[in-house]
Amino acid sequence: MTGRGWINDLPDEMAGQKAIMLRLLDACEADARVRWLAVGCSVGRGAGDPLSDLDMALGVRDEDFDAAITDIRAVVDGLADLVDSYHHLLPERTGPHERIFAQYADRCQLDLVVFPASADIGTGPSIVMLYDADDVIVVRTERPPVTPEQVREWAFRGWCCLADVGKYLRRGSAWEALAQLHEARNCWWQLWAVAHDVRDSRYGIISILDFAAGIVPADAAGTVPRLDLAELTSSAQKVAALLGDLGAYLAPEYLAVLPDPMAAYITADLESLTAASGAGESWAPADCTLPTAERPIRAAEFSDMFSRDVLTVDRPELSRLRLGLRRGPETASRAAALTTAETECCSFFTFTLTVANDSLYLDVGVPESRAEILDALADQAAAAAGVAAS
C-alpha cells in the first residue's frame, strides 16, 4: 500500500491529522531533496485518536540538509492553521538533525524530526514509511534490549531524587519536594516496565499504559500526594518501598547492578522523618500553633540538627538547656533559622546562640512550668547526637 493509501485508510475522526500528513507528503514528493518520510508511535501502530500527536521523521539528502531546513520549517508552518511552532536540537541525539514542533488551531500537533537521509531511522513495528524515494529504507522490528547500565542509571537516579525529597521536606519546601518526588516515581515506572518486559521501557508510564496497562499496581496511587508535607513524606516512603521491592521482579543481570547501599541509606533517611515526628511529639506542647501536618517535618529538622551539629547536652538549670554545637557559619545559620521558626509557633521558648572560647552554644530556655518539655528535648538531643546528657 502506498503512503497516501495508508493515510486515507485512517479513521474519519482523525481528519485533522490525515490532512496534515497528506499535505506534508505532497511537499516531500515535490522536493527532490527530501528522500523519505515516516510516522510512528500511536498513529503508526493504528492506535491513534483525534487527540494523538503526529510523531514523524523526515530524511533530507545529506548534502542538502543545511540548506533545506529553512524550507521545511516553512512547510510545517503552512500545513494547517498554525498557532505557533518551535525548532531545536534534541539533547539526547548526536549528529545533524532538527526537531520541529507545531501546534495547530484544530488541536493537532506535529512533532517532526528532520535527519540527513542516510541516518538510521531506528527500530519498531509502529514505524510506517509513507514515502521512500529511493526504496532503500528498511525498518527493523527487533527491539534493542535494556542494558544493565541503563537499569542502574534509572535506579540510581530514582534514589537520588528521593534523597532530594528528604532534603526539601526538612527545609519545609513542599514544591521542590513534589518535583523531585515526580522524578523518582518516573524512574520507578521505567524500571517497572523493564521488570515486565514492556516495549520502550524508557518511556515509563506512557509505554505501560500503551502496551501493558494491566500491570499498574493498585498501591501506585499512594505515591501521589497533595501539596502537604505529611502526605509528601508518606508518598516518598511509598516510592522508596516500590523501588526497594523491584528486586523481586527484575532479571538477575539487572538485579546485580541495583544500588543497594544507596537504597538502604535513603530508605532509612526517609523513615527517620516519621521516626523524628514521633520523638518530637514527646516534647511538642499541646498548644503549639504549628499545623499538625507540618509537625513531623519540624521534628525531623530538630532531629537532623541534633544528629549533625550537637556535641554536648547540658542542663545547667531546670528551665535552661545548653547544647554545644560544632562551630561554623553553616551550623549557626541552620540553628538560627530553625529556632526562629520554632518561636513563631511556640512563643514560650527563648533561644540564644553564643560564640565563646572557640565554641558555639545554643541555649534553650522555657518557663519553669514547661520544664518537662526541656526534659524530653534534652533526651532527644542526646539520643540523636549519641552523647550523654549532663
Residue-level pLDDT at 296: 67
Residue-level pLDDT at 330: 87
Residue spans per domain, the chain: 3-132, 148-277, 286-385
Q: Calculate Rg over the CA atoms of the chain.
A: 29
Residue-level pLDDT at 125: 61
**SS3 of residue 333 by DSSP:** helix
Residue-level pLDDT at 274: 74
What are the residue ranges of helices labelled H in 89-204?
148-171, 174-195
**Architecture of domain 286-385 in this structure:** 2-Layer Sandwich (3.30)
Residue-level pLDDT at 134: 93
Residue keyed to cell 502506498: 2
Fold of 148-277: Four Helix Bundle (Hemerythrin (Met), subunit A) (1.20.120)
**92 Cβ contact list (under 8 Å, min separation 6):** none
With a cut of 70, which residues of the chain have pLDDT below it? 122-125, 141, 275-286, 291-294, 296
DSSP H or E segment with residue 362: strand 359-365
Q: ∠251-240-262 over CA atoms, to 5°?
A: 75
User: Given CA atoms 93, 55, 77, 109 in this order, what sign does their dihedral have?
Assistant: negative
Residue keyed to cell 516534647: 283
Residue-level pLDDT at 173: 84
Place domain 3-132 in its CATH homologous superfamily: Beta Polymerase, domain 2 (3.30.460.10)
Provide the whole-model pTM.
Answer: 0.71
